[in-house]
Chain A
Amino acid sequence: MTQDPSEILIDCRDVWKVFGERAEDAIAAIRTHGAGKREVLRDFNCVVGVAEASFQIRKGEIFCIMGLSGSGKSTLVRLLNRLIEPSLGEISIRGRNISQMNRKDLRALRAHEIGMVFQSVALIPGRTVLDNAAFGLEVQGVARAERHRIALDALARVGLSDWANHLPKHLSGGMQQRVGLARAIASDPGIILMDEPFSALDPLIRRQLQDEFRQLTKSLGKSAVFITHDLDEAIRIGDRIAIMKDGMMIQIGTAEEIVLHPADAYVAEFVAGISRLHLVKAHSLMLPPGAYAGPVEKLARTAPEADVQALIDLVLAAPEQAVAIAEGETLLGVVTARTLLQGIRGEDADQKAQ
């Protein structure tokens, strides 16, 4: 296993899932004359779950898939560990095509490479928290003492070591979801699939778990595919976000890219209410150095990654009401109070130029 951070763990190429007996005919029809969801249902009695999904997930990356119910996001995540067989296309995990794996290899892949956390948590009622966290290891045939040691360690990472011998029903929803996460990381998989894990929780607990999850995943160096219907959650957690609608991924990008350049009206409507304070960075707001009338050398300097919130503080503190953006010694541009206001309103440098 290489430690190259740019290593591609998951590679999906033109993956389709069409439910129904005549799935192949339906896909052909969609491809040749762009049949829509309704026509597919009417003509072939098939339902399009996922269409034309192509994306790659790198090592250590958190990839959020955001969509409303029925958008195909839950189907897509189940294609990644072949809980659902794709109708068409290729899915590779660490370069191995999972569609071609036999049952034994597939079981090994699921046991060692891919952990999964469910929306309903799925803690087995009769087992203690510890035995639930150790379930994956138990299935792999790890000896009792060893798997308890590992599971206890995983529980400690989610802050639940004191609850190891309780039954799941004694735990709150947030704690149960932590057990689900401990169960997923106990087998030390490279990839964690999260199927709307926090959607049933109270907003406060949800935020707390989002932060904990991101921190934990990053500290362990795991990749994660995180399904959610909540764009705020996707922005909070994800390195990159894919927006799904009707089985299609209509946009893939960083939070900033999606908020600043929505691919279509559907995405634009979604991002309309999103606060830009932490999303929009200096490099997408700044004016070229020449456009600033005053002496640039006297301005305070900051990095192009500074977000709007930080820029506001700097600009307010500066007598010139402007701040220079520089990378090392190189001057990249200038942010003024005016550009900041435009940035918050949702107008970036590109639009301004038109």
Chain B
Amino acid sequence: MAWRDGIKAFDAAIDAGMVWISSHGNEAFALLRGLLEGGFGAILWLLAELPFWALAGMVGALGWRLLGARFGAFATASLALCAALGLWTETIETLALVLSATTMAVLIGGGIGVFAGLSPRLAQVLDPVLDLIQTLPPYLYLLPAIAFLGYGPATAILATFIVAVPPTVKLTALGISRTPVEFLELGAASGASGWQVFAKIRLPFALASIMAGVNQSLMMAFGMVVIAGIVGSGGLGQTIYASVRTLDIARSVDAAIAIVVLTIVLDRLSQTAARPQGQQKEIRT
């Protein structure tokens, strides 16, 4: 069958292309990989230096401050549970992956979002791209990442970044572009410079929307990091992947419980941080 042969040839060509890329563009990819793993490593080191009770205590205190004593106790108990399940190393690996990918998404996505908010034409170009990213199954983004970066946390972070970036870009752009016109007039009529209008008027008005975007990006990142276990990201995702493949039900249930409690803690914390005055309604894209 000629078509089958064509497909085989196609696969062979892609494999050859991959070999060519890894031999020619290797330095660029090695650099990217180094950067991603360096950031991840630094965060992981920071988290790993702390004993689990110190981290659990800190998260608990933050939860207490933002959401009250009950939630503070819940947050501390959640992290303690992760440790009791024998998954502390995996938990902090997962947190480090989420934090590095989210930080990247917020810095880069926030920057792009600001420009998109100021330039309707850029927003017009970006919108279909972001929509497409959000339409496709997240699992897919592991493919290009692994093709260029190979197994390991760098691939997981890159794929997670792709999944996590659209909400921050969209909601930053939305917030920046929706400054009420009378406040822009106020800025102009007060003799403010372009930068002052941005920093003193546009940004404060956009903050709630940007933080809602950060919350969504964080949660998308969390979901993706767990999926990225298949590419050797480490963390809870890899534990689940390995234990499901071997049908180690006990282990996979433990890891799943850890993920669920972490989800709740992260979501509530970042959602509350996103609503400084407790007045912003939840915005979903």
Q: Which residues of A contact B (CB under 8 A)?
A: 78, 81, 83, 106-112, 114-116, 118-120, 122, 124, 126, 135-136, 138-140, 187, 193
- Give the Cβ gap from A103 to chain B, nearest Cβ, in Å: 8
Contact yes or no, B191 A136, CB < 8 A: yes
Q: How far is the CA of A187 from the CA of B180 in the complex (A)?
A: 23
Contact yes or no, B190 A126, CB < 8 A: no
Q: How many A-B residue pairs have CB under 8 A?
A: 58
Q: Which of A110, A119, A193 contacts B191 (CB 8 A)?
A: A110
Contact yes or no, A136 B185, CB < 8 A: no
Residues of A within 8 A of B276 (CB): 126
Comparing B145-153, B193-201, B236-244, the segment that makes contact with chain A is: B193-201
- Give the Cβ gap from A57 to chain B, nearest Cβ, in Å: 17
Contact yes or no, B182 A124, CB < 8 A: no
Residues of B within 8 A of A118 (CB): 182, 185-186
Residues of B within 8 A of A115 (CB): 189
In the complex formed, the residue of A with least CB distance to B196 is A139
- Most chain A beta-carbon neighbours within 10 Å: one of B186, B192, B276: B186
Given contacts A118-B185, A122-B183, contact A110 B190 (CB under 8 A): yes
Q: How far is the CA of A83 from the CA of B186 in the complex (A)?
A: 10
> What 0/1 readout, one digit per residue, does chain B (247-285) give for beta carbons within 8 Å of chain A?
000000000000000000000000000001100000000
- Give the Cβ gap from B205 to chain A, nearest Cβ, in Å: 8
B188 within 8 A of A: yes
- Give the Cβ gap from A91 to chain B, nearest Cβ, in Å: 15
Q: Which of A116, A126, A140 contacts B189 (CB 8 A)?
A: A116
B204 within 8 A of A: yes
Contact yes or no, A139 B192, CB < 8 A: yes
In the complex formed, the residue of B with least CB distance to A126 is B204
Q: How far is the CA of A122 from the CA of B180 in the complex (A)?
A: 9
Residues of A within 8 A of B180 (CB): 120, 122
Residues of B within 8 A of A135 (CB): 186, 190, 200
**Nearest 3 CB-CB pairs, A to B?**
A111-B191, A110-B191, A116-B189
- Give the Cβ gap from B259 to chain A, nearest Cβ, in Å: 36
Q: How far is the CA of A284 from the CA of B191 in the complex (A)?
A: 45
Q: Which residues of B contact A (CB under 8 A)?
A: 180, 182-183, 185-193, 196, 200-201, 204, 276-277
Contact yes or no, A109 B191, CB < 8 A: yes
Residues of A within 8 A of B196 (CB): 139
Q: How far is the CA of A111 from the CA of B201 in the complex (A)?
A: 16
Given contacts A122-B183, A124-B183, contact A139 B204 (CB under 8 A): no
Q: How far is the CA of A158 from the CA of B182 in the complex (A)?
A: 22
Given contacts A124-B201, A124-B204, A126-B204, contact A139 B190 (CB under 8 A): yes
- Give the Cβ gap from A209 to chain B, nearest Cβ, in Å: 19
- Give the Cβ gap from B146 to chain A, nearest Cβ, in Å: 44
- Give the Cβ gap from B207 to chain A, nearest Cβ, in Å: 8
Contact yes or no, B186 A111, CB < 8 A: no
In the complex formed, the residue of A with least CB distance to B207 is A126
Q: How far is the CA of A81 from the CA of B187 in the complex (A)?
A: 12
Q: How far is the CA of A109 from the CA of B204 in the complex (A)?
A: 26
Residues of A within 8 A of B183 (CB): 122, 124
Given contacts A118-B182, A122-B182, contact A110 B200 (CB under 8 A): no
Residues of A within 8 A of B192 (CB): 107, 139
Q: How far is the CA of A140 from the CA of B193 in the complex (A)?
A: 9
Given contacts A107-B191, A107-B193, contact A116 B200 (CB under 8 A): no
- Give the Cβ gap from B211 to chain A, nearest Cβ, in Å: 13
Contact yes or no, A110 B182, CB < 8 A: no
Q: Which of A83, A112, A126 contacts B185 (CB 8 A)?
A: A83
Q: How far is the CA of A91 from the CA of B182 in the complex (A)?
A: 23
In the complex formed, the residue of B with least CB distance to A136 is B190
Q: How far is the CA of A109 from the CA of B192 in the complex (A)?
A: 11
Residues of A within 8 A of B191 (CB): 106-112, 136, 139-140
- Give the Cβ gap from A269 to chain B, nearest Cβ, in Å: 32
Q: How far is the CA of A135 from the CA of B196 in the complex (A)?
A: 11
In the complex formed, the residue of B with least CB distance to A114 is B189
Residues of A within 8 A of B187 (CB): 139
Residues of B within 8 A of A111 (CB): 190-191
Given contacts A139-B196, A139-B200, contact A110 B186 (CB under 8 A): no
Q: How far is the CA of A78 from the CA of B188 in the complex (A)?
A: 11
Residues of A within 8 A of B201 (CB): 124
Q: Which of B189, B193, B277 contacts A81 (CB 8 A)?
A: B189
Q: How far is the CA of A124 from the CA of B193 in the complex (A)?
A: 17
Q: How far is the CA of A119 from the CA of B190 in the complex (A)?
A: 16
In the complex formed, the residue of A with least CB distance to B204 is A126
User: A108-B191, A120-B182, A124-B204 provided; 10 other pairs, C-beta below 8 A?
Assistant: A83-B188, A107-B193, A110-B188, A110-B189, A110-B191, A114-B189, A116-B190, A124-B201, A138-B200, A139-B187
Give 26 pairs: A residue, B residue, CB < 8 Å, sorted on A. Answer: A78-B185, A106-B191, A107-B192, A110-B190, A115-B189, A116-B185, A116-B189, A116-B190, A118-B186, A119-B182, A120-B180, A120-B182, A122-B183, A122-B186, A126-B204, A126-B276, A135-B190, A135-B200, A136-B190, A136-B191, A138-B200, A139-B190, A139-B191, A139-B193, A140-B191, A187-B190
Residues of A within 8 A of B188 (CB): 83, 110
- Give the Cβ gap from A155 to chain B, nearest Cβ, in Å: 17
Residues of B within 8 A of A109 (CB): 191
